């Protein structure tokens, strides 16, 4: 990679980092759907990974994780202990696994998104559709995969590491914990994944056009 491309990638990564921070600490990071607020903070991670590669994607995911750690440490809610080892809410406190939940799924967002995009693009390259349609489908798939990577890993890690504590803190329940997890995945995770797919396709297509012009 020459100096010009390296500089461009660093500038783009800085832009995506800034967007992640803005979305994380302002209401702009959430889209109201009536029955829920869908987060879109992971979308810059997905787009950055597609444009810059899996290493940058993992780095942007790390930035996302850092914003989550900061918010859950300094602006905690009743379940912040699952994301921060520095928080104790009543009888429930975080530990090492809080860091795993906070960082590993977010880092993997960029890695999974990049390889899904490349894999889908390669799989459908022989179809008769135009290049834009093929790329659009690959971008949509990458956005959905990246979002679901975050949701599925976070919620399942919460279940395995803090299942009973999380259910009791959030809902006051001690039984049917995985039912709560599945419900949150369906109610929150699926709409967020669809929105992430649409935004990833629309925004990345626009960026590709600008980069070519």
Report pLDDT digits (tens) over 11-35: 999 999 999 999 999 988 877 665 4
Residues of the chain with pLDDT under 70: 1, 32-37, 126-131, 171-175, 213
pLDDT reported for residue 126: 64
3-state secondary structure of 44: helix
Query: Closest Cα to residue 170, out of 83, 74, 96?
Result: 83
Which tokens is 49 given? 């990974």
pLDDT at position 34 is: 55
What is the reported pTM?
0.92
By C-alpha distance, which of 114, 110, 137 is closest to 124?
A: 137
Q: How far is CA 213 from the centre of its chain?
A: 29
Look at residue 141 in the predicted model and tell me its pLDDT.
97
What's residue 131's pLDDT?
Answer: 67
- Kindly list the structural domains of the chain, giving each domain's residue range(s) and its CATH number in brackets, ordered by start: 3-212 (1.10.1760.20)
């Amino acid at each position: 990679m020459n100096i010009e491309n390296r500089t461009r990638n660093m500038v783009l990564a800085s832009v995506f980092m800034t967007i992640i921070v803005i979305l994380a600490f302002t209401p702009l990071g959430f889209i109201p759907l009536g029955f829920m607020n869908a987060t879109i903070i992971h979308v810059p991670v997905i787009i950055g990974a597609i444009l810059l590669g899996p290493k940058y994607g993992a780095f942007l995911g790390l930035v996302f994780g850092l914003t989550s750690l900061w918010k859950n440490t300094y602006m905690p809610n009743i379940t912040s202990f699952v994301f921060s080892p520095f928080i104790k809410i009543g009888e429930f406190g975080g530990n090492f696994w809080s860091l795993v939940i906070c960082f590993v799924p977010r880092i993997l967002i960029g890695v999974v998104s990049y390889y899904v995009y490349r894999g889908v693009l390669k799989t459908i390259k022989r179809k008769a559709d135009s290049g834009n349609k093929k790329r659009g489908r690959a971008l949509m798939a990458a956005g959905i995969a990246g979002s679901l990577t975050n949701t599925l890993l976070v919620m399942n890690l919460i279940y395995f590491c803090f299942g009973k504590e999380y259910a009791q803190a959030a809902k006051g329940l001690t039984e049917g914990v995985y039912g709560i997890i599945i419900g949150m995945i369906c109610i929150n995770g699926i709409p967020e994944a669809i929105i992430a797919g649409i935004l990833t396709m629309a925004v990345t297509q626009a960026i590709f056009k600008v980069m070519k012009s």
